[in-house]
């Protein structure tokens, strides 16, 4: 590799290690002429498919757009950056292993929704409301009902709506008071 300092073609690798998600190699190099040291990064060049939008136009796959979509849906939600990055990586991987030169944006949207459903139900509803173009409260209610019936929802998440027994248990003192008053009449 050419030295960026003196232009000599003879450099040697003095250290190599994996970085990131073990998908990149960091190499520390030294020029044999000027003895300057510099770092290079090596990673596989992957050809991600082009995205076919709903109106038929095509654009290059954008990991940053994907990341922004997750961040927007999960804004002010208790989901770590690491979890978002992992979800983005899984969607990106699905696009890569699909083996297609082009992939419909709709398919990517479905993969994003699946990831969001498992990460955070509120984020899922936020994304779904835009992605599926909810026009009224009934569309939200239907999506919430489907989500609550879905077996793949994360068990560790808080429910979207309070359960009936939670509502009645929080009203137990009032119910007890009503019964006490009835008995005294």
109-153 pLDDT per residue, tens: 999 999 999 999 899 888 888 877 778 888 878 888 888 887 654
Strands 50-52 and 102-104: parallel
Residue pLDDT, tens place only, 53-101: 989 999 999 999 999 999 999 999 999 999 999 999 999 999 999 989 9
Q: Could you give the strand order of the β-sheet that contains 37-43, starting from the edge strand earlier in sequence?
A: 11-19, 24-31, 37-43
Distance (Å, whole) CA 11 – CA 27: 11
Other Cβ atoms closer than 10 A to 99: 8
Supply the pTM of this predicted model: 0.58
Domain ranges of the chain: 11-43, 50-149
The helix or strand, by DSSP H or E, that contains position 12, with its residue range, turns out to be strand 11-19
How many other β-carbons are positioned within 10 Å of the β-carbon of residue 147? 16
* Of 37, 49, 150, residue with least CA distance to 93: 49
């Amino acid at each position: 590799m050419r030295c960026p300092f003196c232009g000599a073609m003879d450099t040697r690798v003095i250290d190599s290690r994996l970085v990131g998600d073990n998908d990149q190699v960091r190499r520390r190099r030294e020029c044999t002429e000027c003895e300057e040291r510099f770092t290079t990064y090596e990673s596989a060049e992957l050809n991600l498919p082009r995205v076919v939008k709903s109106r038929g136009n095509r654009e290059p796959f954008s990991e940053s757009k994907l990341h922004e979509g997750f961040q927007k849906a999960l804004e002010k939600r208790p989901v770590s950056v690491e979890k978002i990055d992992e979800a983005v990586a899984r969607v990106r991987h699905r696009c890569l292993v699909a083996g297609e030169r082009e992939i419909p944006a709709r398919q990517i949207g479905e993969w994003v929704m699946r990831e969001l459903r498992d990460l955070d139900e509120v984020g899922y509803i936020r994304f779904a409301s835009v992605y599926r173009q909810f026009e009224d409260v009934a569309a939200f209610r239907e999506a919430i009902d489907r989500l609550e019936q879905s077996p793949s929802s994360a068990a560790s998440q808080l429910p979207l709506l309070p359960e009936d027994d939670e509502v009645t248990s929080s009203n137990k003192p009032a119910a007890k008071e009503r019964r006490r008053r009835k008995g005294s009449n």
